[in-house]
Amino acid sequence: MSRVVLSVVGARPNFMKLAPLARALAARSAVRHIIVHTGQHYDPEMSDAFFRDLGLPRPHANLDVGSGSHAQQTAAIMRAFEPVLLDTRPELVLVYGDVNSTVAAALVAAKLGVRVGHVEAGLRSRDWSMPEEINRVVTDRLSDLLFAPSRDAVENLRAEGLPAARIHFVGNIMIDALVAALPEARRHNSCARYGVAERGYALVTLHRPSNVDDPATLGGVLAALDQLGAERPILFPVHPRTRVRVQALGWAPRHAGLRVLQPVSYLEMLGLTLGAGLVITDSGGIQEETSYLGVPCLTVRPNTERPITCTHGTNRLVSAEREAIIAAAQEQWGHYAPNGCTIPRWDGHTAERIAAVLCEEERFD
């Protein structure tokens, strides 16, 4: 009889990490894979569009938890997930990344004595003011299988005393999703659809609480975009939490070149990243995607849990200040690496390695 592995996803970046693994597990009879969607992200363009574009199977259950404070959201996921776990009795619960859905599901599983596997284990920003850092550390401590995306992540886990036998250096599963989607993203012709020239525009995403929750900080970042928008087109798909804050400020772009958009689909985002002259972001995954593609990236944060994108990729950190962003954008502009960057095990085969570990075929040190 095949073993049941249950994946828990809830927020936009989880869906990209799930897709390659769902495909790899579907090809193996040793495992029956089921998916639970917590409903942390629920707007159609934050969730359904990703399930459609990534060809994800329908979830076994949707917990429909929606938004709330961290405590409310985490507690709602735990309460709703426990009966599903008791009902489905998987051998292993797989969680992804650093979102509230991840830590909530890991806590429920660990307390019921169900093994936990963490995809994207070991990343550390060492910034305890980030909710995601708390989620990462707690989830790794609760996990029996730690799937690390990079060597520095392996070192972080070892330094925290986690047993070597639990740690598997499998590589970055976001790159699997990207490699699989590239041909279709290229066919999408995103530059033409948005009427922008290849390498002639910047692409912006912002949603971190540290950048958008404080009106003065957000005002400074938007002022920088206003000024950069006078020089060249900027496409700015706005995350729902950012939209609320931007509206509260009463801000509207000063130049027609700065175009405020609804959140875009995964394929559209990839297409726009491929053609950008510069990406300005505070996302985790986009730091990785731009590095892989060789597109210059400015990350508006004081630190990153993905330092390899700065040392081996195209990423650079910048503080959330108007002048700093403008100066850094001018310096980074055009530093395109046409052959991309090579980071060990960011090769499109991470899901295969994880599936092999889950089926106890191999281990990856």
Applying CB under 6 A, among 207, 259, 306, 353 the residue interacting with ligand UD1 is 207
The answer to whether residue 72 forms part of the interface with ligand UD1 (CB under 6 A) is: no
Neighbours of 58 (CB within 10 A): 8
Q: How do 31-37 and 61-62 pair as beta strands?
A: parallel
Q: Which of 33, 41, 118, 207 is catalytic?
A: 207
Applying CB under 6 A, among 6, 13, 110, 308 the residue interacting with ligand UD1 is 13
Contact region for ligand UD1 (CB under 6 A) — 171-179, 219-227, 233-241, 347-355? Answer: 233-241
CA–CA separation, 283 and 242 (whole Å): 13
Bridge partner list, 300: 318
Closest CB to ligand UD1 among residues 11, 24: 11
Applying CB under 6 A, among 36, 50, 77, 100 the residue interacting with ligand UD1 is 100
CB 332 within 8 A of CB 229: no
CA–CA separation, 269 and 281 (whole Å): 12
Least distance (Å) between residue 14 CB and ligand UD1 = 9
Active-site residue 312, yes or no? no
The answer to whether residue 99 forms part of the interface with ligand UD1 (CB under 6 A) is: yes
Q: How do 92-96 and 115-119 pair as beta strands?
A: parallel
Closest CB to ligand UD1 among residues 169, 236: 236
The answer to whether residue 131 forms part of the interface with ligand UD1 (CB under 6 A) is: yes
Contact region for ligand UD1 (CB under 6 A) — 39-47, 121-129, 268-276, 301-309? Answer: 39-47
CB 177 within 8 A of CB 24: no
CB 221 within 8 A of CB 210: no
Tell me the chain's radius of gyration from C-alpha atoms. 20
Contact region for ligand UD1 (CB under 6 A) — 82-90, 93-101, 295-303, 346-354? Answer: 93-101
